Amino acid sequence: MKIYVGSEEQIAKKAAQQYVDLLTKKPNAVLGGATGSTPLGLYHELARLNKEGVITFKDVTTFNLDEYVGLDGSHDQSYRYFMNHNLFDHIDIDKERTHVPDGINLENIKTYDKAIEKAGGIDLQILGIGVDGHIAFNEPGTPFESLTHVVELEENTREVNSRFFKSIDEVPHQAVTMGIKSIMHARSIILIALGDNKADVVEKMINGPVDTAVAASILQLHPDCTVYLDEKAAAKLLASGADVEIERI
């Protein structure tokens, strides 16, 4: 696990370079997408690089981590809408090659992992982390062997996400999510954590035991995982004195 600490802008630029390196070598790479505020800086940087001709997404295929159950792609809080609005509308990607789990026709979740496999598997997956250690919508206790499935969202997760809705009452109670095994199949993983509310869980993810109580701890076992932290998210890790190599950007 490689760990970098820097500002949000520095993180966006350094993480984007991994995409440049990948797409230069493999223009038809398969990318794993994520939503929420965490990847926005990276997405803006990727759009800038695309506009400047540094990289192209015209042969890229994407698969997103998750989607709310009950929201179709036209809903402004759906993750399909998020991806279109924050990335796909700003780059030269063929939207027919972009995939988000189906939150309406739940039978389709049975084929999501097979579709990823048929596309060649995910080359680079972007992740955030929840304050309880969840990755995608894999809440604490989710088996590490899980594939794409429907999950009941914890109240804490719904409360955190309610800032995007008019009230918590509008936040769906369920989501479709790639499972932890699905995520671990990615050849490379980037995890970004920003803010002091992530400091506790970042320290547990990296220094703690590999345990389903902190889903992200499984990333300790991934052969190519890069973690980007701002100073606030890295605070407890830096103070722990643990024997982990941390590089400043």
Write down the domain spans for the chain: 2-248
228 CB neighbour count, 10 Å cutoff? 27
**pLDDT tens digits for range 154-211:** 888 888 888 888 889 989 999 999 999 999 999 999 999 999 999 999 999 999 999 9
Residue that the structure tokens 């809705």 belong to: 165
pLDDT of residue 238: 93
**pLDDT tens digits for range 92-140:** 999 999 999 999 999 999 999 999 999 999 999 999 999 999 999 999 9
**Which tokens sit at 3?**
């760990």
Q: Is the pLDDT of residue 141 over 80?
A: yes
The helix (run of H) or strand (run of E) holding residue 132 is none
213 CB neighbour count, 10 Å cutoff? 12
**Any idea what the Cα angle at residue 179 is, between residues 79 and 98, rounded to 5°?**
40
According to CATH, the topology of domain 2-248 is Rossmann fold (3.40.50)
Q: Is the pLDDT of residue 13 over 80?
A: yes
CA-nearest of 85, 87, 71 to 33 is 87
CA distance 66 to 100: 7
pLDDT of residue 164: 84
**pLDDT tens digits for range 17-28:** 999 999 999 999
Do residues 226 and 190 lie in contact, with contact meaning Cβ atoms separated by under 8 Å?
yes
State the catalytic residues: 66, 132, 134, 139
pLDDT of residue 160: 85
pLDDT of residue 161: 85
**pLDDT tens digits for range 63-77:** 999 999 999 999 999
pLDDT of residue 34: 97
